[in-house]
Amino acid sequence: MTAPKIVCLAGVCFILAVLTEAANAQQTLYKWVDEDGVVHFEESPPEGVNAERIITTAAPQDVAPKVPSATPAPPPPRPQQPTDASRPVAAASVSDMTLAQLDQRCEAAREAKIAPLREAEIEKCKAQPRNDPAFCERHNADFGEGGRNVNGTVRPRMFDDLPECVEALQERNRRPN
């Protein structure tokens, strides 16, 4: 095997491992609203009720049951308020983030979706014997970006409808210049 094929194979294996782990960490819940307007979440849908199926990530479960000790445990330390520098970007409110941070978050979410598709296009291009591998890389480098087609029609960017991108656009339109 050549070095590019080994790197590509390793990348595919990594992506499959991540997807497998993510699939194992999912849980199915059902959401429904009763006559009083109260929203309920349950692991199985109730009979005779129109319930919406929701896929969530499962919370880690303790392996061993907790046994109460004879002496009471000391109270947990009080959490400190995170500073702006230590606050993770995902936990920050959209209104607290700069437009550059919102754009960066959008681009990261888009790239996570586009990268596997781009790699598949590159591999499909390389599979044709008449194509030069370097050409395939260059030709698909901007895969997923918008632009114009040969006939002049507009090609929109892929995955601009992700929640992170929609929030970034809404904040850009909401904030004064």
The residue whose two tokens read 């004064």 is 176
Give pTM, 2 decimals.
0.45
Per-residue pLDDT of the chain (177 residues), as tens digits, is 555 555 556 666 566 665 556 555 556 777 777 777 777 777 777 788 887 777 665 544 444 445 555 556 666 666 665 554 444 444 458 778 888 898 999 999 999 999 999 999 999 999 998 989 999 999 888 888 888 888 889 888 888 899 999 998 898 898 876
Using CA atoms, how far residue 22 sits from 12, 26, 91, in Å, is: 15, 7, 20
